[in-house]
Amino acid sequence: MAETPVPGAPAAATDPNAQELALQSIYVKDASFEAPSGPNIPTTEWNPQFGLSMNTAGSTLADNLHEVVLTITLEAKVGERVAYLVEVKQAGTFLVRNYSLEDSRRIIGGFCPGVLFPFARQAVSDLIMRGGFPPFLLPPVNFDSLFQQSMEQAMQQGQIPPAVN
């Protein structure tokens, strides 16, 4: 008896060699908020200087299952005083099957952080507002471009071999 593809079924169910990319879970791996000066920062003159850093890391949990962690650290200073420091590690597990090494790297380093970013943005904003400070919305980020830049820089420094087609 021949198998008939079921509409809406994953391609891997009908073709074991089909490429598959599936989000398995999204979760906050770690979060912290510090307001060293607490309410002693005058919000009437609220014009802080912001320092923002982002980092992504990927690890293999099982065959074809990867954890990607997007870490966002935001510091707000008024003059020399730290108003607040917030750090969120937003994580997700992704099934990445039957992609080339180059495509897998691009998915894990560019696409997956892009999926996690809206969740991390919300978590950062929530922590800041719960700390009693005015809302802050992280600007949009092009993770594909950032990943491409980091790969080019790493290849120039000889840290990773070029992907083979």
Question: What confidence tens digit (pLDDT) does each residue in 136-165 have?
Answer: 999 999 988 888 888 888 778 877 655 433
- Single-letter amino acid code for the residue at 27: Y
Task: Give the integer Cα–Cα distance in Å for 78 and 23.
Answer: 40
pLDDT > 80? residue 55: yes
pLDDT value of residue 1? 47
CATH of the domain at 111: 3.10.420.10
Residue appearing with tokens 């966002």:
72
Range of the domain at 71: 19-41+53-156
**Considering only 21-30, 55-64, 84-93, 148-157, which range has the smallest mean pLDDT?**
148-157
29 or 47, higher pLDDT: 29
Cα first-last separation, the chain: 37
Instruction: Give the gyration radius of the chain's Cα atoms.
Output: 20
pLDDT value of residue 40? 73
Task: Give the integer Cα–Cα distance in Å for 149 and 67.
Answer: 22
In a domain, residue 28? The reply is: yes
pLDDT value of residue 163? 47
164 or 14, higher pLDDT: 14
pLDDT band at 6 (very low <50, low <70, confident <90, very high): very low
In a domain, residue 4? The reply is: no
pLDDT band at 44 (very low <50, low <70, confident <90, very high): low
If one counts the domains in the chain, the total is: 1
Helix 143-156 vs helix 112-130: crossing angle, to nearest 10 = 110
In a domain, residue 162? The reply is: no
